[in-house]
Structure 1
């Protein structure tokens, strides 16, 4: 950044008084970048991590044969062909991404980010730069093929002048663009260190309806990238000591896509839908055909088979490919599904065959782990044109299933099953967690299907990732606590006044009417306090063995802005899980608890956080308020009041 400031000052001073110092020429250090297109007219270049760039550079300068110059990057999820300068995904289909070995950078007139020059241009600039050093002559002007002019004023002051703009029809010369700074090397760039090689746990994520997963129209591959990177940040912040000791490394998250296969030319479903779709409101009808109809497709035996087979086969294929590329992997595998994706995984796991060993252990324990009869009832009988669905058998045993914004409960009910029963469990999966936002219109509970008495029991509240409740929930509890305290003071004051008047002979003894009124007030106080403040009492009803005797339903905390408008927030709440740090940390804690790795007791955090809706320019919107907790302030005021 010092060189950039010097260049800026040089431009502000009109190119005067620049001190040229004697420096020793140092060859530029190259760094590898890849291109990401935001739209048809805008693109940005992002740096590989330091670890990946070093591996690419080592392969580039090596003397190995061309076929061997393929380097795995991004935790092994991409392969880079150095000769072709392309980056391709390993686990899913995708267009090749251009990569570049970069050393010189400039800013365009429309972008605030630095863009790398093409390699041959950067090489020529480096030759001219070295020549200025060797000859001790600066202020060298270099004209580029784009007609831009670069001036090498000194070793750390390099500027770019756009091409001259001709006069217009009125013989007036428009104001020329201001010169821009050129950077040599990547010193000062914010570049990540890179992902660790060791993977602790593998998590497969299955998307819901449609080809996009959120309101930003991002694909499952893009939202999983966000989920993975944010989870890594949470792991490093909440498991810092475990990361330093090497007991916690990283969670690998891979996407599973089934939408493209369903709407491919092989099925021909899009072509048939197009022939019967009305011409009016074309955008809305295209959205319906591409998204909402996926729910109906899943209820059709023909297309349900296509979806189930795609997901099951992809899970097996990616697991085998992952093991091949990570032969030292000894961890477990979990599954996560969003919306309809959670139902697909639930149905798939419900039809897995129990291992013989587990079956014998279950029989010895007197437990039933074969809900085949109940499950077969859920999906109906064959015959009368109804096709039996063939469910692929997984080649691995999932540790847990995480359902986000899941309609499983609704589908089970619609299929005609009143109750799953306390002995219901997924044959080949140990744990099940039903995670939902309180305003999610697609999410339904599961516990009441296990035990109808649990319908009146609130779901478990997922903690905030900063270690405290959101501000409005804290304020609500604080006000309840203050109200209860004031109410108790009123009751005590009435009792004291009545006793004083009785001793003076003014009023009769403490009568049953006043006793009843006091008792009612005290009972209301206790009820209100326990409802808003006290932790939930231990469950007396069984939650079954679906989650090994633990709770199944888990609810996120809504933000203050969502509280103001539940209906407006409903659509966003259904797709909030991809960026919900609370959801990510909850999954991390459940996964690492099975490895006996606990989070740190103290984590870096702000005093209080208010989350606001996402804007177009940021990935997560949050405003941090560094004020003392509201609860402590109010409690101090109450305690100081007589």
Structure 2
């Protein structure tokens, strides 16, 4: 929990009785309003006034800003599962569709990746258009985690991300951190401060043979927003342009610019 400015110290001695929770309160020193206010003004030196203003600015938490989502799709193989980002153009289309599909009963289908795939927005599935391929999961991603042995950040499920965002919003609005979220699987996420958020595994799930604290499972790093993780996001889709009979060059371009390329 954050401390109030009064607990941290640093207020000028000339205004010891001012209640920072009620800025309109003044120090009572006389019978008239003029007599009540003037002693504070007369005693406040430029340096003390500056210190008070700086303290007041630091006590005001930064305003909450809603996290910007980005859409990912899942790619599974026999021994690996990875999450890959859609291009910014495709992600924007999916986000716009998601915002309009909430009140609709019918499914909304969005063509992505140069119309090679269709995304069923309500179902959260991605289907191949021109060949046989099983559907893959699609996710609207806002929060990510990475374990000690992981090389990339992975997106949380959407319901978990929603809970994390609600807790973050409360922490920012009230400027109260050290907030703890406990999930049904026993894992815990602690919001230490805006830049340090960690996920902890329950002790019972750690290996029994671990003998020293240094060998125990380390907490996972948690990040908010795709802009805070290392991931390459193309602006448009990737297409292969054949320059001659034996040479093909793959370039990433916005969909609207594909017609400018001529296949030879």
- Flag whether TM exceeds 0.5 (same fold): yes
> Could you tell me whether the CA contact under 8 Å between 1:200 and 1:249 is conserved in 2?
no
> Could you tell me whether the CA contact under 8 Å between 1:232 and 1:250 is conserved in 2?
no
Kindly report the root-mean-square deviation, in angstroms, between the aligned alpha carbons of the 2 structures.
3.5
Cα deviation 1:409-437 (Å, max 9, x = unaligned)? xxxxxxxxxxxxxxxxxxxxxxxxxxxxx
> Any residues of structure 2 matched to 1:145-164 within 5 Å, and which?
145-164=184-203
CA distance in 1, matches of 2:143, 2:258: 40
**CA displacement at 1:30 relative to structure 2:** 1.0
**CA displacement at 1:86 relative to structure 2:** 0.5
CA distance in 1, matches of 2:78, 2:150: 15
> Could you tell me whether the CA contact under 8 Å between 1:200 and 1:250 is conserved in 2?
no
The 1:144/1:47 distance shift into structure 2, 3 A limit, reads: same
SS at match of 2:169: helix
SS at match of 1:106: strand
Hey, what does 1:57 align to over in structure 2?
A: 95
Q: Which of 232, 238, 251 is 1:190 aligned to?
A: 232
SS at match of 2:110: strand
CA distance in 2, matches of 1:23, 1:100: 29
> Could you tell me whether the CA contact under 8 Å between 2:147 and 2:219 is conserved in 1?
no
CA distance in 2, matches of 1:129, 1:179: 19
Hey, what does 2:221 align to over in structure 1?
A: 181
**CA displacement at 1:57 relative to structure 2:** 0.5
**CA displacement at 1:20 relative to structure 2:** 9.5
**CA displacement at 1:22 relative to structure 2:** 2.8
Hey, what does 1:43 align to over in structure 2?
A: 81
Higher relative contact order (CA 8 A, sep 6+): 2
**Structure 2: tracts of 5 or more residues without a match:** 1-57
CA distance in 1, matches of 2:59, 2:203: 28
SS at match of 1:187: helix
Cα deviation 1:352-395 (Å, max 9, x = unaligned)? xxxxxxxxxxxxxxxxxxxxxxxxxxxxxxxxxxxxxxxxxxxx
The 1:103/1:66 distance shift into structure 2, 3 A limit, reads: same
> Any residues of structure 2 matched to 1:8-157 within 5 Å, and which?
22-37=61-76, 39-63=77-101, 65-67=104-106, 69-157=108-196
Query: Number of matched residues?
Result: 198
Instruction: Check if 1:249 corresponds to 2:260.
Output: yes
**CA displacement at 1:156 relative to structure 2:** 2.3
The 1:167/1:114 distance shift into structure 2, 3 A limit, reads: closer
Cα deviation 1:533-575 (Å, max 9, x = unaligned)? xxxxxxxxxxxxxxxxxxxxxxxxxxxxxxxxxxxxxxxxxxx
SS at match of 2:92: helix
Instruction: Check if 1:232 corresponds to 2:243.
Output: no
Higher strand content, 1 or 2: 2
CA distance in 2, matches of 1:123, 1:147: 18
CA distance in 2, matches of 1:167, 1:201: 51
Cα deviation 1:153-178 (Å, max 9, x = unaligned)? 12222122222256847x94562222
Q: TM-score normalised to the size of structure 1?
A: 0.28
> Could you tell me whether the CA contact under 8 Å between 1:87 and 1:97 is conserved in 2?
yes
SS at match of 1:45: strand
Q: TM-score normalised to the size of structure 2?
A: 0.64
The 1:149/1:250 distance shift into structure 2, 3 A limit, reads: farther
SS at match of 2:144: strand
**CA displacement at 1:65 relative to structure 2:** 3.6
CA distance in 1, matches of 2:198, 2:185: 15
CA distance in 1, matches of 2:217, 2:132: 42
SS at match of 2:82: strand
**CA displacement at 1:101 relative to structure 2:** 0.7
